[in-house]
Structure 1
Amino acid sequence: MLLIVGVGACAPTVRPAGAPVATAMLSADAFIATDGTQLPLQSWGNLENPDAVILALHGMGDYANAFMELGEQLGPTGIAVYAFDQRGFGRSPTRPFWAGVASMVNDASDVLGLLRARYRDRPIYLLGNSMGGAVAMITAASRGHLMDGLVLVAPAVWNRDMMPWYQTAPLAIISHSLPWLPLSGKGLDIWPSDNIEMLRRLSRDPHMMSSVRVDMIAGIADLMDLARLRAGDISVPTLLVSGAKDQVIPPEAVAALDRVFVAAHMTDYHRCLYPAGYHMLLRDLNGPLVIEDIGRWIRRANRAGDGGYAFSCGGS
């Protein structure tokens, strides 16, 4: 009885977008959403006349600067990169609260629409990393007309059906009884990357989140469930990249997503699996190779037009 009372008294906190009060806009350093919320924006490359444009969505605990390496490497090749701090993360005003799947997908869709209006004759790609990959999948499944292609980098697709019960049961209870409880990865002996210097730098970055509320973890679990459910509805050209040494999202979860895409007979789908890759593929020691593959996939897609081109991973 006490547990039931506690659950009813402490529901998970969600801070979704508010009612629309204005038109969404992009400034030089912010995405101003329709509810007036300003989400910090970063960009790289030739923003005036790029050959292609990427909107990149970051992972849990991260923020827009997650794509610095991607932007600095692809920018000089003619591919502009945009990224914003998603609600609840980085420098966003609602940090550290979960915004809900609908708000995150709507934000991504609005920025895609703004980029489409700005670059009317240029291809627009949506790239999602980890948690951002799950957001990107749902966006592509429901609003594929806003993009010319989808890039998934170690997407968070470890849905509850694949998790052992001893992980899902406590999460369901704690997220309702103690939603404010902060959780971190300390003591789990999980290495997200082999780039130790980069990890040390991130540990000193105040915009990174070293711990998150447990109700945010529950929200991300909901997000992964929905992303996996909608995977079969994706029809846009898609590139899936992942690492065999990923200790955050089990490789078997990504392999299951790969099977869904293959079974769907997508006309333009490619997968790159990097034997030495960890979860933070774009910032691993092998990151430049992964980024080069992403750039080649986008450039070849643009030249081929119909997506019926040959593509191989690993810089070949």
Structure 2
Amino acid sequence: MAKKKAIDGVSDEMNAIAFQNLDHAPARRRVRLAFTQVQQQLDHVMFKMAPSGIRTEEWFETNSKGQEIFCKSWLPKPGVRIKAAVCFVHGYDDTCTFFFEGIAKRIAASGYGVYAIDHPGFGLSEGLHGYVSNFNVDNIIEQYTKVKGRPEVRGMPRFLLGQSMGGAVALKVHLKEQQEWDGVVLVAPMCKISAEMKPPEPLQKVLIFLSRLMPKAKLVPTKDLAKLAFRDPQKRKMANYNVISYSDQTRLKTAVELLNATNELESQVEKVSSPLLILHGGVDKVTDPNISKFLYEKATSNDKTLKIYVGSYHCILEGESDERILEVIDDITAWLDSHCAVR
């Protein structure tokens, strides 16, 4: 993503808070706290039409590496039966405490327990901001194993919901735990990085070499992700309010890990056997919709659905028209409903 821009509609003092160094979790947590009320008042369908009565909980879990991992849940209003657990995996540079708040509330209002965590180094979890030292899924498996044992969803169907980079993570979790999930929902999954987002081949080789010498350095050229990902210009401006997102140049080791992960997934798509829902914007320039078509065709699952939204960009849950965003969420909940009924 391009360098952060000043946030319209907030004071100089609030902009100064947003622009502080966010390398470490305590600073990100302070900034999130300062902006929570401002975010919830944005003129976005996910905030304006958020269902009432949703029960939320936030907590931290210490993972096996000693890192504090931020966790959050959204449950239906009291008296509504929970049908299943939906475990969200967010994308690169993102967090589960901004746009996903509204998405989670709508899914929870349909009768689901929705759970999310921030990856190490992202959002409110500990770790150097934007740094991925190893693209493994152990932390996700560790945290969501605990979630599956929570009393409100114990023994119920459980689904993974992965967005963008989180789609790649969700697939890797499925491949490692083939029998542990009742289905996987992928939103614009990063199974392969679009050619438009990759540095030229010679530069890739240089960056891979440099990543061994200075893995944490922010040296990988990046484009304005909001411009590429949000079709609606008004919603694109709201992306600036995602104040704890990682918006600097990509760290060298992170870029190499993302590239390696997509190359690995591309070679393993035939092993994907879970019930599968794949949703993708038709003109996505961040992750390639043709790779979603490739995944759909090659996955060995007997139960798979692909929907391409004509004319839509990458952020089909955040950056499209209100009607398209609600359509995508309805498609997700309808698919979940049908797969709970099967079980």
Q: Structure 1 length as normaliser, TM-score?
A: 0.78
Return the match for 1:213 from 251, 264, 277: 251
Alpha-carbon deviations, 1:91-131, whole Å to 9, x = none?
Answer: 222122214122xx111112221222122231110111111
Are 2:93 and 2:245, in contact at CA under 8 Å, matched by a contact in 1?
A: yes
Residue number in structure 2 paired with 1:67: 100
Q: Distance in 2 between matches of 1:35 and 1:213?
A: 21
Q: Distance in 2 between matches of 1:188 and 1:120?
A: 38
* Matched position secondary structure for 2:234: helix
Return the match for 1:81 from 114, 117, 131: 114
Q: Distance in 2 between matches of 1:188 and 1:87?
A: 21
Aligned pair 1:153/2:219, yes or no? no
Higher mean C-alpha displacement, 64-73 vs 122-131: 64-73
Q: Distance in 2 between matches of 1:275 and 1:127?
A: 22
The one-letter code matched in structure 2 to 1:79 is: Y
Aligned pair 1:284/2:287, yes or no? no
The one-letter code matched in structure 1 to 2:120 is: R
Residue number in structure 2 paired with 1:313: none
Are 2:85 and 2:148, in contact at CA under 8 Å, matched by a contact in 1?
A: no
Higher mean C-alpha displacement, 42-51 vs 294-303: 42-51
How many Å apart are 1:239 and its aligned residue?
0.7
* Matched position secondary structure for 1:284: coil
Instruction: Identify unmatched segments of 5+ residues in structure 1.
Output: 1-26, 306-316
Q: Distance in 1 between matches of 2:113 and 2:341?
A: 17
Aligned pair 1:91/2:128, yes or no? no
How many Å apart are 1:184 and its aligned residue?
5.7
How many Å apart are 1:257 and its aligned residue?
1.8
The one-letter code matched in structure 2 to 1:282 is: L
Higher mean C-alpha displacement, 166-175 vs 69-78: 166-175
Q: Distance in 2 between matches of 1:160 and 1:287?
A: 23
Q: Distance in 1 between matches of 2:221 and 2:163?
A: 19
* Matched position secondary structure for 1:60: coil
Aligned pair 1:137/2:174, yes or no? no
Residue number in structure 2 paired with 1:101: 135
**Identity fraction in percent:** 23
The within-5 A match list for 1:2-17 is none
The one-letter code matched in structure 2 to 1:165 is: E
Residue number in structure 2 paired with 1:270: 305
Higher mean C-alpha displacement, 175-184 vs 86-95: 175-184
The one-letter code matched in structure 2 to 1:125 is: F
Return the match for 1:124 from 132, 155, 158: 158
Q: Distance in 1 between matches of 2:167 and 2:225?
A: 23
Higher mean C-alpha displacement, 149-158 vs 245-254: 245-254
Q: Distance in 1 between matches of 2:82 and 2:224?
A: 44
The one-letter code matched in structure 1 to 2:302 is: T
How many Å apart are 1:189 and its aligned residue?
9.2
The one-letter code matched in structure 2 to 1:255 is: K
Alpha-carbon deviations, 1:198-250, whole Å to 9, x = none?
Answer: 33223233311112312211111112122223322221211111110101012
How many Å apart are 1:160 and its aligned residue?
9.7
Q: Distance in 2 between matches of 1:202 and 1:160?
A: 21
* Matched position secondary structure for 2:228: coil
The within-5 A match list for 1:250-265 is 250-261=288-299, 264=300
How many Å apart are 1:185 and its aligned residue?
3.3
Are 2:193 and 2:286, in contact at CA under 8 Å, matched by a contact in 1?
A: no
Cα-Cα RMSD? 2.6
Instruction: Identify unmatched segments of 5+ residues in structure 2.
Output: 1-56
Return the match for 2:264 from 226, 232, 253: 226
Aligned pair 1:35/2:65, yes or no? yes
Return the match for 1:248 from 276, 281, 286: 286
Return the match for 1:181 from 199, 208, 218: 218
Residue number in structure 2 paired with 1:18: none
The one-letter code matched in structure 2 to 1:72 is: K
Are 2:132 and 2:253, in contact at CA under 8 Å, matched by a contact in 1?
A: yes
Higher mean C-alpha displacement, 108-117 vs 188-197: 188-197
* Matched position secondary structure for 2:317: helix
